[in-house]
């Protein structure tokens, strides 16, 4: 199904309108502080199956369910572990997703048949107002076609979905630029399924220890989504340790992402002065290489601490290095 009007997505500036559309079963993209999301009523089989089809999402990859406030968590989960409440109280609204036992009203498609569900409370004001208006749990993967880099601007969402989406709630560029941290709260110790906007060090600080997906041989201990290819532009992505190596590479048709102020002799250069700035610019830079039809992206590695752990995870997945402890990727 195309957009509501003339086969194009409705450009929506009013969060209350976006919430009403979601209530009516529409697919609505919306801004969040991490990346844009592609929303559907998590209690509607029809809306959720349209969402999987539109995104091209494998059906074994569960979606995160978004709510406006912690008081709504009983609509999404049951027997909520204390660990999840502690994490949400500390880091929400914000870039954290807690995995908890699933409420029966969340349709099985959302969780890919799992008995657990990921729950997140975004802090973007447009998203907050939309979720309050909808009064429903909203399932939302990142608003990109499956496998492509995530979108941090509404213009990028339109590039991927123009003509297919019902509406898009217009908002700012995403402040963080990488997805939420996903933590499985159904075990005795918090289990990191995906590094993201909340650094692992902050979670370890709260609980004393955290286990990390992919570091044990136990089956089913990874996030299912992380088994799929991810964050790939058409250009090939290459990683370098030192900014000088990037600058010294004499290649045409490339984009360099480095902390080095000096532009390389050829290609297009994007300088960052902090890891946060690099993270914020990363997905849009990958998309820009495709717009410019560049063939290579040269990216500087960063230390995998604090915000750097999530950024290195995305860099390695984009480059198909897959070294976040050997597990593959989400969409």
Q: List residues binding ligand TXA (CB under 6 A).
A: 32, 34-35, 37, 61-64, 97, 99, 111, 114, 116-118, 120, 122, 140-142, 179-180, 182, 193-194, 223-226, 330-331
Closer Cβ to ligand TXA, 97 or 258, answer by number: 97
Among the listed residues 254, 255, 289, 260, the one whose alpha carbon sits nearest the alpha carbon of residue 272: 260
Please answer whether residues 27 and 166 qualify as being in contact, where contact means their C-beta atoms are separated by less than 8 angstroms: yes
Q: Is the dihedral of CA 103, 109, 110, 112 positive or negative?
A: positive
Q: Which residues are CB-contacts of 282 (< 8 A; sequence separation ≥ 6)?
A: 177, 178, 257, 311, 314, 315
- CB nearer ligand TXA, residue 61 or residue 258: 61
> Of Mg ion, ligand TXA, none, which one sits near residue 92, judging by CB under 5 to 8 A according to partner kind?
none
In whole angstroms, the minimum distance from the beta carbon of 83 to ligand TXA comes to: 15
- Nearer to Mg ion by Cβ, of 92 and 97: the residue is 97
Least distance to Mg ion from the beta carbon of 297, Å? Answer: 19
Least distance (Å) from ligand TXA to the CB of residue 62? 4
Q: How far is the CB of 246 from ligand TXA (least distance, A)?
A: 28
Residue 156 binding target from Mg ion, ligand TXA, none, CB below 5 to 8 Å by type: none
| Binding-site partner at residue 68 among ligand TXA, Mg ion, none, CB < 5 to 8 Å by type | none
Least distance between Mg ion and beta carbon 177 (Å): 13
Task: Describe the crossing of helices 307-318 and 275-291 by its angle, rounded to 10 degrees.
Answer: 20
Determine the 3-state secondary structure of 268 from DSSP. Answer: strand
Name which of ligand TXA, Mg ion, none residue 224 binds, using a CB cut-off of 5 to 8 Å depending on partner kind: ligand TXA
Per CB under 5 A, residues contacting Mg ion are 142, 331
DSSP string, 100-143: EEBPTTS-TTTTTT-SEEEEE----HHHHHHHHHH-S-EE--BS
Q: Is the dihedral of CA 234, 195, 313, 225 positive or negative?
A: negative
Residue 55's Cβ-side half-sphere holds a number of Cα atoms within 13 Å equal to 33
User: Closest separation between CB of residue 143 and Mg ion, Å?
Assistant: 9
96 binds, among Mg ion, ligand TXA, none (CB under 5 to 8 A by kind): none
- 118/267 with CB nearer ligand TXA: 118
Closer CB to ligand TXA, 251 or 323, in the complex: 323
């Amino acid at each position: 199904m195309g957009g509501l009007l003339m086969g194009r997505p409705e450009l929506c500036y009013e969060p209350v309108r976006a919430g009403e559309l979601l209530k009516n079963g529409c697919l609505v993209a919306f801004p969040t502080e991490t990346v844009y999301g592609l929303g559907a009523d998590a209690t509607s089989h029809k809306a959720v199956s349209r969402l999987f089809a539109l995104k091209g999402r494998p059906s074994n990859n569960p979606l995160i369910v978004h709510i406006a406030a912690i008081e709504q968590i009983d609509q999404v989960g049951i027997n909520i572990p204390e660990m999840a409440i502690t994490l949400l109280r500390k880091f929400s609204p914000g870039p954290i997703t807690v995995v908890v036992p699933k409420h029966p009203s969340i349709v099985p498609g959302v969780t890919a048949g799992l008995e657990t569900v990921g729950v997140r409370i975004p802090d973007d004001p447009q998203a907050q107002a939309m979720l309050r208006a909808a009064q429903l749990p909203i399932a939302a993967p990142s608003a990109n076609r499956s496998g492509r880099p995530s979108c941090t601007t509404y213009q990028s969402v339109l590039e991927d979905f123009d003509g297919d989406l019902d509406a898009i709630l217009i908002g700012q560029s995403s402040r963080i630029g990488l997805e939420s941290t996903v933590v499985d709260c159904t075990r005795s110790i918090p289990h990191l399924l995906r590094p993201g906007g909340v650094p692992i060090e902050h979670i370890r600080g709260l609980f004393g220890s955290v286990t990390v997906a992919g570091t044990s041989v136990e089956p089913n201990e990874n996030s299912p989504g992380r088994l799929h290819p991810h964050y790939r532009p058409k250009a090939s992505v290459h990683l370098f340790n030192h900014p000088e190596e990037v600058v010294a590479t004499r290649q045409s048709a490339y984009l360099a992402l480095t902390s080095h102020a000096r532009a390389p002799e050829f290609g297009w250069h994007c300088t960052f002065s902090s890891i946060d700035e690099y993270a914020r610019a990363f997905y849009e830079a990958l998309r820009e290489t495709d717009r410019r039809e560049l063939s290579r992206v040269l990216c500087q590695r960063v230390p995998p601490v604090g915000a750097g752990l999530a950024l290195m995870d995305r860099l390695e997945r984009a480059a198909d290095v897959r070294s976040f402890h050997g597990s593959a990727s989400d969409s």
